[in-house]
Chains A and B, each alone.
Chain A
Amino acid sequence: MTNQELQELITSWFSGPESAHLEFTEEGSQFLNLSIDPDYLHELMSWLKTNNKTSFDYLFCLTGVDWGKELGVVYHLESTTHRHILVVKVQTSDRENPVFDSVQDIWPTANFHEREVFDLFGIKFKGHPNLKRLFLPEDWEGFPLRKDYVDEVNMVVK
């Protein structure tokens, strides 16, 4: 499917597009980007995986991002049958307790990658069966990849 067709199909899934805050953009990226309200994330992802027209079966990259004020997660999806690519983004301004739905029940590969994001950004994933730090020790304080992380002893300084 072309980006235009993808955009129309996904918009048609959400009867009131405003409610899910769908935002499509191709600006500043080689892929079609879609931002969505975190409440609708799991619903959207299940449809993207199971729908025959989209069948995004390959989650090839899952990235945590600290935008400064907001924390977010970026999902890069590819379909191995149709060979189209979609980037899905969610973000929240709640820095104390950021929570998104886990997608590891849809793509098992997300299991480790969500643990990595939790480890380095402190973003929690609801429904993850084993959400604990992946790289850092259990007793590590703070989340190093956040922009406001300060660790005077171990910090990489300019």
Chain B
Amino acid sequence: METDTINNSFKSEEYFINMGPQHPATHGVLRLLLTIDGEIIKKVEPDLGYIHRSIEKMCERDSYQQIVHLTDRMDYLSSHINNEAVCLAVENALEIEVPERVKVIRTIIDELTRISSHTLWWGVMGMDVGALTSYFYGFRDRELINDIFEETCGARLTMNYNIPGGLMQDIHPNFVKRVKEFIAHFKTKLPEYDKLLTGNIIFQKRTKGVGVLSKEDAIAFGASGPVARGSGYSCDVRKYHPYSALDKITFNEALHTEGDSYARYLVRIQEMWESISIIEQLIDNIPEGDFKVATKAVIKLPKGEYYQKVETARGELGVYIISTGGKNPHRMKFRSPGLSNLSLLNHITVGGKIGDLVATMATIDIVVPDIDR
């Protein structure tokens, strides 16, 4: 009888809290509805739409040249790669073969974009688990890439450098020199990242065994990018459906099989090394030639359906165009990597603690405008 009373007075109770939309660890306007019991998570339900701009509807009104500009605003950390996805889809539909020079430049900037995105992620990842120094390290190195973009593309974030048929303008005369300087600099800095976080015992304890995702679940939930590759699922679009200059170079797909947050962390660190290697293979061999081929001022795609996959810093971006032959698409769908990656969050965080949810979200690397579109 006495034990009964004690048990009752310590009865646990489920309750509900909001995480976001202004929570610093949700990286933008993502609202998570958490059902918790003490510190144990019972359910995570994302509430989306705070930054939904209906880009797919706007595409139905815009010309194909205009659509390219809208894609910057999805996953803004992979803006160049998003632009490229639309341009490739349009070029394939029109059967335009872009010059080799364009392909090589596109791939170099793709990989610079990936490094830029991953350095930002690395900085914020450290901050999310309580290590503020990494934030400044990451932003210091990312700044150098932004300077290169600014010189060549005219913008630092929403670059708009790709157009259907090629590039907006040729690369800046300093481009090759500055990229080489950056690579030399970054090669000395990446080992510092390892010293600061990768080998840090506190960081490892926060991430190892946290948010474990099995390979089967990764495929079933449609995961892609570093999230899927941390679970041993080989899915790199650059390997399986190479585009631009990717068929000319060799690189290793970063794969880890543990499936936890630490594995996803290691995949991204390794991807930065691979991106460096890809850039090094191409930077001395940019072919001479035109930076674009002329297209008609009004682009009309032949009636049909076109699908183009690319690998952004977050995973597989799909562009699906249904054309009825007019100057606007009948339907334009963006298969964003973020939405599928977010949909597995509930699955891998239930039963863990709130602090682990933050660490897991950091390694899923969500960009909310990419999810909301």
Can you give 16 contacting A-B residue pairs, CB < 8 Å? Answer: A29-B307, A33-B305, A63-B335, A87-B305, A107-B220, A108-B221, A109-B221, A109-B340, A112-B339, A113-B339, A134-B49, A135-B372, A136-B52, A144-B54, A145-B56, A156-B54
Question: Do the beta carbons of B58 and A61 come within 8 Å of each other?
Answer: no
> Does B73 belong to the interface (CB within 8 Å)?
no
Contacts of B331 in A (CB 8 A): 63, 65-66
| Contact A145-B220, Cβ < 8 Å, known A65-B322, A109-B340, A134-B48 | no
Question: Is B343 positioned at the interface, with any CB of A under 8 Å from its CB?
Answer: yes
Within 8 A of A (CB), among B284-332: 302-307, 309, 316, 318, 320, 322, 331
Q: Which residues of B contact A60 (CB under 8 A)?
A: 222, 224, 309, 316, 318, 335
- Please pick, from A109, A133, A156, A157, the residue contacting B222 in the complex, using a CB distance under 8 A: A109
Q: Are A28 and B305 in contact (CB under 8 A)?
A: yes
131-152 of chain A: CB within 8 A of chain B: 133-137, 144-145
Contact of A29 (CB < 8 Å), options: B52, B224, B305: B305
Give the number of chain A interface residues (Cβ < 8 Å): 37
Q: A80-B233, A112-B340, A112-B342 are in contact. Are A156 and B57 (CB under 8 A)?
A: yes
Q: Nearest Cβ in chain B — how far from A40, in angstroms?
A: 22
Q: Count chain A CB atoms within 10 A of each CB in B222, B304, B320 and give the residue with the most.
A: B222
Whether the Cβ atoms of B61 and A156 lie closer than 8 Å is yes
Interface residues of chain B: helix, strand, loop or mixed (majority): mixed
Q: How large is the interface on B (under 10, 10 to 19, 20 to 34, 35 or more residues)?
A: 35 or more
Closest residue on chain A to residue B56 by CB atoms: A145
Q: Which residues in window 57-84 of A have CB below 8 A to B?
A: 57-61, 63, 65-66, 74, 76, 80, 83
Tell me if B235 counts as interface (CB < 8 A to partner A). Answer: yes
A-B contact count (CB 8 A): 90
What residues of B have a CB within 8 angstroms of the CB of A145 in the complex? 54, 56-57
For window 4-40 of chain A, which residues contact chain B by CB distance below 8 Å? 27-31, 33
Q: Does chain A have a CB within 8 A of B10?
A: no
B15 interface contact, C-beta 8 A = no
Q: Interface residues, chain B, CB within 8 Å of chain A? A: 48-49, 52, 54, 56-58, 61, 92, 217, 219-222, 224, 233, 235, 240, 302-307, 309, 316, 318, 320, 322, 331, 333, 335, 339-340, 342-344, 347, 372
Tell whether, in the assembled complex, residue A108 and residue B343 are in contact, meaning their CB atoms are under 8 Å apart.
Answer: yes
**Looking across the interface, which residue of chain B has its beta carbon closest to that of A109?**
B222
Q: With A and B bound together, what is the CA distance between A133 and B233 in angstroms?
A: 31
Once the chains bind, are B343 and A111 in contact (CB under 8 Å)?
A: yes
How far, in Å, is A17 (CB) from chain B's closest CB? Answer: 23
